[in-house]
């Protein structure tokens, strides 16, 4: 008697918006080594800070909900314990801050006497500003935090003899604001003199207002929030050789809004908000990049004119100088970005997501068929990414390899 063989396990590949899409777009080969291999980056500073600030904001929201502590929060008393908690969580996942310049980790240090100097470490300074500047406006509007959103899509260019599955899954985690919370906040404050900065910015946003005016269910909507532990990216022209972060972040929010719309309890999504939290306390590197963007004409004239004083300070600032005293208005406005959500934009971003998934799957299939890793995955990234990359010494991208072994 012939025994039937067990059918192959049915597996749907799952892709996350940040872990896969943004990471693959940064560099295909780096993504392969970091995400599909067993090589965690030795000092993933960018990733550590991104996850750290995300965790700090989420935990601060939970504590605000429970205790309703008035703003501004005291760093040592209210914020530092949150930082430690998040740092420990990240350590358990093998993520550590780069060095003491970034963050004083009392867990690894016997000297737990924190002083003013430690308070000024970059990560702590940003956490404090993020909570005290944006937290106080944002937390009262949040309806759901850390909401897991998932969806399923047809595998692009499915071929039963080649593809791993006929579907793929997408997932992401977001915070959601609702019109109900926004309206409650408005009711509790003086309508003519509302003081919630986020509501104020939304009221001045033409696309958002148009959306509300045109809608039948103007009192039933949601806004999706994401925090980024990075500076505001420049508005760039698409270059196939490097990731256009400005565009990718928009696509991420649009895809989130599609995922959210698949959930039963969702309302219409009218906008997305991204917080670029480095802008609240820019590092020297961030300031150098803003300077470069100005020199390369990547900042529009209207913005240059509006914040002329701040841009002048940055132009005259040199790397060894003390950081320029930028205005709060400048920092605040650079740290928030409103994304307009509409159906055509969502469809375009989903198409782009499909294309990225197709490219990842193609590289995976090539590797599974016996191609060498470096032949199956493209090695292309901008100079900054390559300089900080753990794999540059053996990367096939010769330009970066020679940089490391430059002979004087
Ligand atoms: S060195 Fe640059 S091209 Fe090579 S893997 Fe790293 S980021 Fe990619």
CA of 122 to the centre of ligand 1 (A): 26
- Whether the CB-CB separation of 246 and 234 falls below 8 Å is answered with yes
Average pLDDT score over the chain: 84
Residue 377 CB less than 6 A away from ligand 1: no
CA of 407 to the centre of ligand 1 (A): 21
User: What's the pLDDT tens digit per position in 301-331?
Assistant: 899 999 999 999 999 999 888 889 999 999 9
CA of 163 to the centre of ligand 1 (A): 27
Residue 56 CB less than 6 A away from ligand 1: no
Q: What's the mean pLDDT in 118-139?
A: 86
CA of 399 to the centre of ligand 1 (A): 10
Angle at 51 between CA 384 and CA 195, to 5 degrees: 105
Q: Is residue 193's pLDDT more than 50?
A: no
Q: Is residue 254's pLDDT more than 80?
A: yes
The pLDDT confidence band at residue 355, using thresholds 50, 70 and 90, is very high
The pLDDT confidence band at residue 403, using thresholds 50, 70 and 90, is very low
Q: Six-digit token pair at 99? A: 């060095």
String of b and e for 16-31 (b: at least 16 CB within 10 Å)?
Answer: bbbbbbbbbbbbbbbb
CB neighbour list of residue 389: distance below 8 Å, 6 or more residues apart: 27, 30, 381, 395, 400
Taking the C-alpha atoms of residue 47 and residue 24, their distance in angstroms, rounded to an integer, is 14
Considering the segment(s) 15-282+326-361 as one domain, its CATH architecture is: Alpha-Beta Complex (3.90)
- Whether the CB-CB separation of 37 and 192 falls below 8 Å is answered with no
Q: Best substitution site from 400, 401, 403 to test ligand 1's pocket, by max atoms within 8 Å of Cβ?
A: 400
Q: Please give the residue that has the higher pLDDT: either 243 or 38.
A: 243
User: What's the pLDDT tens digit per position in 130-174?
Assistant: 999 999 999 999 988 889 999 999 999 999 888 889 999 999 898
- Is residue 250 helix, strand or coil? helix
Locate the domains of the chain by residue range: 15-282+326-361, 283-325
Q: What's the mean pLDDT in 168-195?
A: 75
Phi and psi dihedrals of 274, rounded to 5?
-110, 135
CA of 405 to the centre of ligand 1 (A): 15
The pLDDT confidence band at residue 217, using thresholds 50, 70 and 90, is low
Q: Is residue 274's pLDDT more than 90?
A: yes
Q: Is residue 204's pLDDT more than 80?
A: yes
Q: Best substitution site from 29, 44, 383 to test ligand 1's pocket, by max atoms within 8 Å of Cβ?
A: 29
């Amino acid at each position: 008697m012939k025994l039937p063989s067990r059918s192959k396990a049915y597996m749907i590949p799952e892709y996350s918006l940040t872990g896969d899409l943004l990471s693959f777009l940064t560099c295909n080969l780096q993504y392969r080594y970091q995400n599909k291999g067993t090589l965690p980056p030795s000092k993933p500073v960018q990733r550590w800070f991104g996850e750290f600030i995300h965790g700090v904001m989420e935990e601060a929201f939970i504590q605000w909900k429970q205790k309703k502590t008035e703003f501004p929060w005291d760093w040592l008393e209210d914020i530092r314990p949150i930082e430690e908690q998040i740092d420990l969580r990240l350590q358990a996942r093998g993520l550590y801050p780069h060095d003491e310049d970034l963050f004083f980790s009392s867990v690894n240090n016997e000297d737990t006497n924190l002083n003013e100097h430690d308070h000024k470490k970059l990560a702590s300074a940003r956490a404090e500003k993020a909570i005290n500047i944006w937290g106080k406006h944002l937390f009262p509007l949040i309806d759901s935090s850390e909401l897991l959103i998932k969806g399923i899509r047809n595998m692009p260019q499915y071929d039963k003899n080649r593809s791993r599955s006929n579907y793929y899954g997408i997932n992401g985690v977001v915070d959601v604001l609702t019109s109900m919370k926004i309206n409650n906040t408005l009711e509790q404050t003086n309508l003519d003199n509302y003081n919630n900065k986020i509501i104020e910015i939304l009221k001045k946003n033409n696309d958002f207002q148009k959306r509300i005016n045109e809608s039948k269910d103007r009192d039933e909507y949601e806004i999706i929030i994401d925090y980024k532990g990075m500076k505001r990216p420049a508005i760039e022209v698409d270059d196939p050789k490097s990731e256009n972060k400005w565009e990718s972040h928009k696509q991420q929010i649009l895809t989130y809004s599609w995922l959210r719309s698949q959930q039963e309890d969702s309302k219409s999504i009218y906008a997305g908000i991204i917080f670029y939290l480095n802008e609240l306390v820019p590092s020297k590197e961030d300031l150098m990049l803003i300077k470069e963007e100005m020199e390369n004409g990547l900042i529009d004239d209207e913005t240059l004119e509006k914040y002329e004083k701040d841009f002048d300070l940055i132009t005259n600032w040199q790397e060894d100088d003390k950081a320029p005293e930028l205005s709060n208005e400048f920092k605040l406005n650079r740290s928030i970005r409103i994304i307009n959500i509409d159906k055509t934009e969502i469809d375009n971003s989903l198409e782009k997501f499909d294309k990225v998934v197709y490219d990842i799957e193609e590289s995976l299939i090539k590797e599974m068929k016996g191609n060498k890793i470096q032949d199956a995955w493209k090695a292309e990234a901008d100079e900054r990414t390559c300089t900080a990359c753990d794999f540059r010494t053996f990367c096939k991208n010769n330009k970066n390899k020679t940089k490391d072994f430059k002979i004087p």
